[in-house]
Each structure stands twice: as structure tokens, then as C-alpha cells.
Chain A
């Protein structure tokens, strides 16, 4: 699932970025080699990061855990 539509960053990209040590939305963008555009995704991106960080063994970020 795409978290950032402007830059095409998916939950899988966030997972990989967190594995590489990213802890903030800014770090995730940097890890993906992209820059934020509209900023609408920052809140959801932060949620994803905290979920990934709290469960480092989780292989995937299921949609049910991302609140609307």
C-alpha cells in the first residue's frame, strides 16, 4: 500500500527504511532518496514508523493496523 502518493513510497519502503535505522518521516524520505512534497502523508508515515519500530520482527505492515 502506498503511504506517500506524491513520491510513491509504500509500506514496504517504510519497513526497509526502518530496518536501515530510519526513525522519523524525514529519515524515511532520505532513505528512499526522495523529498517530501505535499506533506499530507507525514502523520501516516509516522504511524507506520512507530508500528514498525515497536514490532521489528513483523514482516509486513497490514492495512488493518494503519488507522484512517
Chain B
């Protein structure tokens, strides 16, 4: 089924963000595991896999609308050098992605592409969940201090 050009452009923009997210979170997860902070690494790794599934959903939708998924483009990766920076970088990326997702939902609504809108709304839900988790980590760091937080999250990575 032929989709609207603007919708396809936005979907490809979202795909670019998801591909960026996969790479950033995966590298962060592996860095955390390498530092022995497996508890945190496992959660970030799960997010990376989630982003991969989100990207898959967008790719399928673009193909269904007879567009070409743009797998080549990748945004700037924000890679932290310690736990605090990693959490900050993750939050920054997620907030930027959420902004783009919301703009894409509005466009799909205007173009009456309700299925793309619903798919993107599900993505927003996943991203908001992750942002909420990141904010909870920032709260914990603030309350217990970074050293205690790292001790709490220490351990072997399961993945």
C-alpha cells in the first residue's frame, strides 16, 4: 500500500534515531559490564534490544507503505566515560528521540495514517518507560551517592 511521502520521511527519521539508540545503548551496556557494573549493564542492554525491536517495527511499516527504510543514516553517539555521564547521555538521547516521535505522531494524525500513529505511540510508551527508569536512577544517585549506587549495581553482566 502506497504511503504518504511525509509520513515515510518521518518514519525514516525515527528509524535513524532508533538505530542510533541501539548503538549507543549497546556500547554503554558493554562498557558497564566491562567495569563490573553488570546490574546497570543488564538494564541498558535490555533497552538496546528493545530499541532493535522498535527499529524492526518501523522498518516493517516503511516497507508496508512501499517506502525504502533508510538503514544507512546514523546520528551522533553520545558516549559517557563514567556512570554519571552514561546516564546523562542516555537521558539526552531519549529526550531528543521523544521530541521527534511526538512530532511524527502529530504528522501521522494530520495525514490520517492512524496505523503509523499507533505504532509510533507504542514507541513513545517504550521511550517514556526508559526515561522514567533513568530519572529513577538519577534520584537514587542523588539520595545514596554515586559510590553506593555503583556498589548496588555491581555484579556480573548476565547477557
- A-B contacts at CB below 8 angstroms, number: 28
Q: Please count how many residues in chain B sit with their CB below 8 Å of the partner chain's CB atoms.
A: 12
Contact flags A1-40 to B (C-beta < 8 A → 1, else 0): 1100100001000000000000000000000000000001
Q: Tell yes or no: A57 within 8 A of B by CB.
A: no
Contact present for B85 and A1 (CB under 8 Å): yes
Contact present for A68 and B78 (CB under 8 Å): yes
In the assembled complex, the CB of B89 is this many whole angstroms from the nearest CB of chain A, namely 6
In the assembled complex, the CB of B30 is this many whole angstroms from the nearest CB of chain A, namely 14
Q: Which residues of chain A are near B155, meaning CB under 8 Å?
A: none
Most buried by B among A1, A10, A64: A1
Contacts from A to B (Cβ < 8 Å): 1-2, 5, 10, 40-41, 44, 63-64, 68
Contacts from B to A (Cβ < 8 Å): 76-81, 85, 88-89, 92-93, 96
Further contacts, 8 of them, CB under 8 A, given A1-B88, A63-B89, A68-B78: A1-B89, A2-B77, A40-B76, A41-B76, A44-B76, A63-B78, A63-B85, A63-B88
